[in-house]
Structure 1
């Protein structure tokens, strides 16, 4: 039916994490602490997803 294609991993989650980290820093500098905290949590989540997917792609 469908050809078996190995799981391919790209670093998009890491790029998104860097973008959200920069947004968090800018929000903190402006004084929007709530937005800075939320964007930092999103960046942390993307870094964790990146690590999990990187480990999975190395194992497969």
Structure 2
């Protein structure tokens, strides 16, 4: 093949790959919905340690 045909085939493959990635992003990646319900409460066990050492709280 000459260089022009290789260039056309390369551009065509890049376009196909780009369109494929757009389709995959739209249809294959799950969409997360905001779930808000004020009736649901979360209980934190008493054994959960809220006290952190000073070295952990430094930024």
TM-score calculated relative to the size of structure 1: 0.45
Which is helix-richer, 1 or 2? Answer: 1
TM-score of the two chains, using structure 2 as the length reference = 0.46
